Structure 1
Amino acid sequence: MTRPVGLSDKEYFERVATEAEFLDWYKQQDAPRFEKPSVTADMVVYSFVDGQIKLLLIRRAAHPCQHKLSLVGGFIGRDEDAYQTCQRQIKKEAGLDLPRHHIEQLLTISDPNRDPRGWVMTIAHLVYLPSQALDLVQAGEDGREPIVIDVDFKKAQCSYQGQLLTAEDFAFDHYEIVMTSIKRIQGRMKWNPTFLNLLQTPFTIYAATDLVNLISPDKKILHNNFLSKYGEYVEEAGVERVPKKKPKKTYRLKAKQTGN
């Protein structure tokens, strides 16, 4: 095809050339003009252990932010989406094959100054980890130390071994991401209670009610009110029998009831 007179290269390849020709030109001429951030997938990894809400963090062994606490995460691989990166990192840290519905996208942060290494965007996620998985977490080969802290949803506070943690204890903007996660979970409790994935299946109404009351910013609910508020998300799973005590019904989450 004869090239029309008066068109710039950009106009010609965008409007006249074939798509294959355009893409070849774009990769060589136009794409290099744009900044390309690195992208990570970071995870706010919650677990419900012995009636308390825990958060799995990593104490960084190397720069940047050496010795500070960071979320579990990593750079997204060339052939991965963000969810696959989360699954890979949890497999690496805890040896656990985490179902996709236990991972919920939280927010994307693109501030070019959030990481001293350069422009590193992050796609932050909420992850609901079974309580027994925390026992599987081991120090990484790179020297990163796993740390499990307590989270008080009522006060929006984090603590470790009785000491209150502040933003200065965290790497990058990870403290702010944790605070955002608390607001997200509380704001969606009534219409998309993904936090119920923290419950160990099967669970009793008593365990479920305790979890709700730890998270909810409202007044506490009673055990006999749980099903009236969350009954559409759960179904009966069986009976828990304890010697010399009355059997208790157990429940599990309905399939696809608490997805993103």
Structure 2
Amino acid sequence: MSKLTIPEGMSEKEYYETLADESAFLAWYKSQDLPKYETPSVTADMVAYCFAEGRIRLLVIKRRAHPYQNKYALVGGFVDRQEDAYQACIREVKEEVGLTIPLEKVEQLLTVSTPGRDPRGWVITIAHLVYLPAQVMDQAAAGDDAKQVMFLDVDFKTATFRDGSRVLTEDDFAFDHYQILLESIKRIQGRLDWNPTFLHLLEQPFTVYEGTELVNLISPRRPIVSNNFLVKFGHYLEEAGVKRVPKKKPRKVYRLKGDPHGQER
């Protein structure tokens, strides 16, 4: 092998970064430069809400193992090498609670890289909002890291989470999941008018009355009446037929534009 000749006044690093071909640079980088950097682990955590029986519920697990054994935690886990964070979300929901969710019901919330946030080491998490259908309350089953699967009641007006009659505090949650939950409420409320992705919580298709009920549970402002729902959100929706209600006139139903799951009923 011929000896490497580096132009005078240029460092080896500069040579490989600017003059060598890319394959030579990558070989040098992996053997010389990469070992200087500590590699973090990456997790995907999900703030998974559903809207059932007129209440907003949050899917959580009770942790079966250390760290934070028996604490409430968001559904989540480590991102595998061959997947992105969205795929990790879908996989983890399937593994931990036995549910399959479509990609359009997942949106990135924030990345948390606070040093020391995980006692196991350097772990960065990419938190996501996940909108689940109401029937998940009958389908969810504990698995993997979950000792128990449960649904907490969420009050968006007071930013509180309840397990039955007990209001939970930051100390009840694993890692920094309580702070992530508070950020999720701020995100949904802050984008209420201009990016209402929370409408994915509604069973598709839905009536104006169902949409109004959900908005009034989330909005920090004064309640809206059903007549105003289409004024505020109509440009995100399309008609999807009618819903027949016993002893009442059929009601128009709507779905989010582009939603493949909204069918007439």
| TM-score interval (norm. to shorter) | over 0.9
Q: Measure the CA separation in 2 of the matches of 1:204 and 1:18.
A: 61
The structural deviation recorded for 1:242 is 2.2
Letter in 1 for 2:158: K
Q: Which residue of 2 aligns with 1:219?
A: 222
The structural deviation recorded for 1:143 is 4.9
Q: Aligned residues: percent identity?
A: 61
Q: Which of these residues, 10, 21, 24, is aligned with residue 21 of structure 1?
A: 24
The SS at the match of 1:124 is strand
| TM-score of the pair, normalised by structure 1 | 0.95
Letter in 2 for 1:179: L
Q: Does the C-alpha gap of structure 1 residues 113 and 43 become closer, same or farther in structure 2, counting only changes over 3 Å?
A: same
Letter in 1 for 2:203: Q
Q: Which residue of 2 aligns with 1:182?
A: 185
Matched, 1:196 2:199: yes
Q: Do the aligned partners of 2:98 and 2:143 also contact (CA within 8 Å) in 1?
A: no
Letter in 2 for 1:40: T
Q: Does the C-alpha gap of structure 1 residues 236 and 94 become closer, same or farther in structure 2, counting only changes over 3 Å?
A: farther
Q: Which residue of 2 aligns with 1:122?
A: 125
The structural deviation recorded for 1:18 is 1.3
- Structure 1: gaps of 5 or more residues: none
Task: For 1:55-74, list aligned pairs within 5 A.
Answer: 55-74=58-77
Task: For 1:141-156, list aligned pairs within 5 A.
Answer: 141-156=144-159
- Structure 2: gaps of 5 or more residues: 260-265
Q: Does the C-alpha gap of structure 1 residues 92 and 192 become closer, same or farther in structure 2, counting only changes over 3 Å?
A: same
- CA-to-partner distance for each residue in 1:121-155, whole Å, 9 max, x for gaps? 00000000011022111011445311110000001
Q: Does the C-alpha gap of structure 1 residues 143 and 194 become closer, same or farther in structure 2, counting only changes over 3 Å?
A: closer
**Count of aligned pairs:** 256
Letter in 2 for 1:92: E
Letter in 2 for 1:78: R
Q: Do the aligned partners of 1:108 and 1:122 also contact (CA within 8 Å) in 2?
A: yes
Matched, 1:169 2:172: yes
Q: Do the aligned partners of 1:94 and 1:134 also contact (CA within 8 Å) in 2?
A: no
The structural deviation recorded for 1:171 is 0.3
The SS at the match of 1:149 is strand
Q: Which residue of 2 aligns with 1:44?
A: 47
| TM-score of the pair, normalised by structure 2 | 0.93
- CA-to-partner distance for each residue in 1:179-222, whole Å, 9 max, x for gaps? 00000000000000000000001111111100000000010000
Q: Which residue of 2 aligns with 1:111?
A: 114
Q: Does the C-alpha gap of structure 1 residues 223 and 46 become closer, same or farther in structure 2, counting only changes over 3 Å?
A: same
Task: For 1:24-35, list aligned pairs within 5 A.
Answer: 24-35=27-38
Letter in 1 for 2:252: K
Q: Which residue of 2 aligns with 1:4?
A: 7
The SS at the match of 1:45 is strand
Task: Name whichever of 239-248 and 24-33 sits farther off.
Answer: 239-248
Q: Do the aligned partners of 1:94 and 1:133 also contact (CA within 8 Å) in 2?
A: no
Q: Measure the CA separation in 2 of the matches of 1:61 and 1:12.
A: 52
The SS at the match of 2:20 is coil
